[in-house]
Homo-oligomer: A and B are copies of this chain.
Amino acid sequence: MKAIADRVGVSIKSVSRVLNGEGGASPETANRILATAEEMGFRRNELARGLRQGSRTNTIGLVLKESSTRFFVELIRGIEDVAERHELLVVTATSRSSDQEKATLLALSSRRVDGLLIVPASFDQAYLRPEQAAGLPLVFIDRPPAGIAVDAVLSDCFGGGYAAAAHLMENGHRRIGVIGGFASAYTVSERLRGYRAAFETHGIRVDRNLIRLDTEGASEAEAAADELLDLADPATAFFTLGNHCTVGAIRSLRARGISNDRALVGVENMELADMLEPPLTVVTHDISDMGRIATERLLARINGDDSTPQVVILPTRIIPRGSGEIPSAR
């Protein structure tokens, strides 16, 4: 701005005024300033501006673990829907591990984003207390916070697990194998809880031999599926609690040529899921909505809402496409 002021021959304050559209400048001066700014390719230094304005940056951060691609894209879509209307920049930073998640969050906090949306991968976010104490608004997405009380927007994984199991039971299944990832993850444990609840409701005992958790990667999941199919009293259906589990189960069924003889319900939509043979039945929810709602919550906080933190739980639904409607052979 200094440079522009010098060139035009006015004070730096006049430049600031014009460039911010504050008014109170003669049209003539204003035009000269605007023209010169344009010509010089001026970009206001938002660092300085933010600093002066109490470290407000008109930027919100999104932190999540690089993983489910579909989730990623749909979530961002929802967030941008809202942020765009409020002229906020959304910056996304990914993490790969819990340690990195922490580092990434602190990096964004240091850069003074106005608020943070977090899809946590770590199991304790107590380290965020200072940010919270400093008044940085935080909203968790998809998984609840631990070690700290903040807003969260989740999906009804319990209900999803219940619905998936009940759906399979309706098609005659009693031996429903479960393949999941990290057992202590919220989404996994809740879905499993829902699965168990469905069995209870139907007066069927859960056979814990049918539950295989902590699989990492598709090949481990495939091995788990193989085991479940090789039991003396084998699984007639699968409920897979993560994309890599779904892929593993499909591979296992494929290899045996029994894709059309065993039922399969996955979670979350995947690209091409409806192009499989049989098309994949999933239990899912509207991820973009989750992003929108979380962002609106965050904006409310940024604008001073200091009510008690709340948890919003969004409904899940089954999308029957074929694989989940295969009846039990027995």
- Which residues in A have some Cβ–Cβ distance to B below 8 Å? 40-48, 50-51, 55, 57, 59, 61, 66-67, 69-70, 72-73, 76-77, 80, 84, 89-94, 96, 100, 104, 106-112, 129-131, 133-134, 243, 247, 250-251, 254, 270-273, 275-277
Complex-state Cα separation, A310 to B157, whole angstroms:
50
Are B92 and A93 neighbours in the complex by a CB distance under 8 Å?
yes
Complex-state Cα separation, A77 to B96, whole angstroms:
9
Q: Quick one: closest B residue to A96, CB to CB?
A: B80
Are A111 and B69 neighbours in the complex by a CB distance under 8 Å?
no
Q: Quick one: closest B residue to A69, CB to CB?
A: B69
The residues of B that contact A73 with a CB separation of less than 8 Å are: 66-67, 69, 72
The residue that A89 contacts in the complex, of B41, B93, B133, with Cβ under 8 A, is B93
Interface of A is mostly: helix
Are B110 and A45 neighbours in the complex by a CB distance under 8 Å?
yes
The residue that A112 contacts in the complex, of B46, B67, B77, B107, with Cβ under 8 A, is B46
Are A47 and B111 neighbours in the complex by a CB distance under 8 Å?
yes
Q: Give the number of times this chain occurs in the complex, counting copies.
A: 2
Are B133 and A41 neighbours in the complex by a CB distance under 8 Å?
yes
The residues of B that contact A94 with a CB separation of less than 8 Å are: 76, 80, 90, 92
Which of A51, A61, A133, A273 has most chain B Cβ within 10 Å?
Answer: A51
Q: Quick one: closest B residue to A94, CB to CB?
A: B76
The residues of B that contact A109 with a CB separation of less than 8 Å are: 43
Are A43 and B89 neighbours in the complex by a CB distance under 8 Å?
no
Are A57 and B111 neighbours in the complex by a CB distance under 8 Å?
yes
Q: List 16 A-B contacts (CB under 8 A).
A: A43-B110, A43-B134, A45-B51, A47-B47, A47-B50, A47-B51, A47-B111, A48-B51, A61-B91, A66-B77, A92-B93, A243-B271, A247-B275, A272-B272, A272-B276, A276-B276
Q: Quick one: closest B residue to A58, CB to CB?
A: B107
The residue that A272 contacts in the complex, of B106, B131, B271, with Cβ under 8 A, is B271
Are A134 and B91 neighbours in the complex by a CB distance under 8 Å?
no
CB of A21, distance to nearest CB on chain B (Å): 16
Complex-state Cα separation, A66 to B76, whole angstroms:
8
Complex-state Cα separation, A104 to B251, whole angstroms:
41
The residue that A43 contacts in the complex, of B50, B84, B131, with Cβ under 8 A, is B131
CB of A118, distance to nearest CB on chain B (Å): 15
